[in-house]
Chains A and B, each alone.
Chain A
Amino acid sequence: MKIETIANMSKNRIPSIGNAQIRLLESLCNASAVSGEEEKVRSIVLEQIRPLVDEIKVDALGNVLAKRFGQEKKRLRVMVTAHMDEVGMMIVADDEEGLFRFETVGGLEVSQLVGKAVWVGKNRVPGVIGAKPIHLVEQDELSQLIKLEALRIDVGPENGKKVKVGDRATFATPFIRLGPSLRAKALDDRVGVATLIELIRQPQPHLDLLAAFTVQEEVGLRGARVAAYTLDPDLAFVIDCTPARDLPDWESGGYHVEKEEIENTQYNTRLGAGPAIYIADHATLSDPRLIRHLVETAEALKIPYQIRQPGGGGTDAGAIHRQRVGVPTVSISVPGRYLHTTASIIRLEDWKNTLALIHAALSLLSPRLLRTER
């Protein structure tokens, strides 16, 4: 079958993102699931996909592994993953009177913590991370970064007994829609989780969909490693959310308008430019056949896409592609600004196009692809 024919066929059943999907993403983002304690997101995932899949289990680390089998004879076993966990904090000491010392979990910059509201523990005790009043700050102190040792989570003198050492905390940022954008905490990688749930809703008769909602990505890709072993796929797609650093350079305007425009050339990805296909990051060299397949699919269907600038960072692909005898793997991300902060921003169009591209790429997947030389 020609690619155009299949493209036309699959166009008719491209999964769409409407209010129901946005509401699901909202509940996923607002849930707290710091690495190692993913149960709140897991329970939403289980509720959503249980009626759709043929097999489902929660493994020893807490990954949700679900299978939806096709009906055709020779079927590829395709793993698709998104991670459920998010960066956050853990309470490490009780200073009494409702004040607690804490450590960060995952890549979280201390400069993002100061002056923010947080939710602590499973019962979401509200708290804040305050700062010394500016009136009491010495002039030379203003340029110094505030250190983690100086910060406390403060739940107020009355609620101190409701928080225990070991509790996790997240930013208390509610999900909001901003024109063409969505803003929330933990869009990395709840947008991947929501995408994978939509993919499970779409039957793919020619393949076995092996869905893995993974844990502990943010602390070393640990869930994906065992999920890939268990599922033992022929190939894998990883859905994540990658930084868009498409901000203006300080010299390119504002106070420096007279200067020649200086371009930001290290943007990683750009918001609004479509799903980001990975070629190389710190942990993975993507399988070139899968990169080609994604690019050709996008071009055939006129779905916007961008190549993520090769460089640092990493996704669950880093663990998956080295599992067992090796798994051809590629990552594809929704570009997101300000990941690992109180409020990250994605464009709704980028999410729609990411879902459309992965869905089409799965629909057009043939065993021949892996028989070509890498």
Chain B
Amino acid sequence: MNDLLPLLKDLISEPGLSGYESPVRKLIENAWRPLTDEIHVSRLGSLHALRKGRAPEPRPSLLLTGHMDAIGLMVTSLVDGFIRLVEVGGVDPRVLPGQLVTVHGRKDIPGVIVQPPSYLLPSEVRGVAVPLKYLLVDVGLEPAQVERLVRVGDLVSFAQTPIELGEDYLVGHTLDDRAAVGVITQCLVELQGRSLNWDLWVAATSQEEETFGGAFTSAYQLRPTLAVAIDVTFASGPGSPSHLTFPLGKGFTLGWGPNIHPKFHKAMKDLADRLEIPHKLEPMPELSGTDAYAMQVVAEGVPTMMVGIPLRYMHTPVEMVCLKDITRSGRFLADFAAQLDDKFMEKLSVYPEVVSHED
């Protein structure tokens, strides 16, 4: 069995919607505390932990982030014991009818999202995919019980339990981006007993799916010399165009585009090539849609990279990853952190000279 599997299954069994990450943060804190020298929670709810380096002060630092917040839903109104919803993060309403959820009211209540029969809906939404505002949650309770337990603004999270598909594949909700928390944990495990020159900060960021609030403020507070956002990327699979996707189990991706420092990219690619770790270039022509987008423009600016874990069915409750991609990325990032020395920044200092990823 993959050593990370129990942690990953725990991580995707907890809610922790954007802005309300505490249920999952506690789990991550427990996993990281024994692997790091220092740990604290930011004002916006991100979790920061430090592995101290040995280089003389002021020591440069590398920051690895994975966002811990989850997409989901929020209660907008109650009607006859049924619950109406709005989305938190990007949700395709077409995956929702029949979806099992947990309503986080005065207590956690299991529910199911239902699509009312079409004759109860306005004529313009008959025969088409029904938008979210017309869908309801049924918790199986009497209307008076629902009124007592549930209020407008309560969170509703996906209740899909983790599914193992053989040894190497895991399915569940919020593997975007708890998979990255797995990557960072693997990296910290690999670094046990190894000394670092640079400080290594790791962060489980909050609010990525809504405002990138965690990444902006964590990068400001920690002021890393270099920052790497670890996030999931589109895996090839049914319905997804092949030119925009990466195969499951065939390695991580290294981001390339305006959010990425080209020489930082090259340094990572060179190391991956030297270590013969499978990886692919991920073109991100404009904005990366990850914490790298935010961290790059914090304070005076930060050289930023993005490492992608291929994931199928993103933003559905049945996201699928290959565990090998997660452990390999963790090992690679550990090797990357361990080889950082006092000369490393010289490799990046010539920016902005023209650099191509094929150099």
Contacts and interface: CB of A to CB of B under 8 A. Distances in A.
B196 to A, nearest CB: 35
Interface string B63-90: 0000000000000110110101000001
Interface string B94-120: 111111100000000110101111011
A133 B318 CA distance: 11
A251 B123 CA distance: 12
A172 B317 CA distance: 13
Given A117-B160, A158-B168, A252-B79, A135 B289 contact: yes
Given A127-B165, A144-B128, A248-B120, A135 B315 contact: yes
Interface stretch (A86-94, A108-116, A226-234, A365-373): A108-116
A180 to B, nearest CB: 6
Contact of A111 (B79, B97, B171, B318): B97
A341 B289 contact: no
A180 B140 contact: yes
B237 to A, nearest CB: 6
Given A253-B80, A343-B112, A134 B315 contact: yes
A152 to B, nearest CB: 4
Nearest to B249: A157
B238 A117 contact: no
Nearest to A268: B117
B142 A111 contact: no
Interface in A114-165: 114-117, 126-137, 142-146, 150-152, 154-159
Main secondary structure of the interface of B (DSSP, over half): loop
B141 A180 contact: yes
A116 B99 CA distance: 7
Contacts of B167: 158
Identify which of B91, B133, B140, B320 gathers the most chain A CB atoms within 10 Å of its CB.
Answer: B140
A176 B238 CA distance: 32
A181 to B, nearest CB: 3
A142 B129 contact: yes
A128 B169 CA distance: 12
B94 A146 contact: yes
B248 interface: yes
B134 interface: yes
A128 B318 contact: yes
Contact of B119 (A180, A182, A266, A345): A266
24 contacts: A128-B163, A128-B313, A130-B312, A130-B313, A131-B94, A132-B240, A134-B90, A135-B234, A135-B289, A135-B314, A136-B234, A154-B237, A156-B171, A157-B166, A158-B166, A158-B168, A179-B145, A180-B141, A181-B141, A252-B79, A253-B77, A254-B76, A254-B77, A254-B79
Closest 4 pairs (CB-CB, A-B): A156-B165, A158-B166, A178-B140, A115-B95
Interface of A: 98-99, 111-112, 114-117, 126-137, 142-146, 150-152, 154-159, 171-173, 176, 178-183, 245, 247-255, 264, 266, 337-338, 341-343, 345
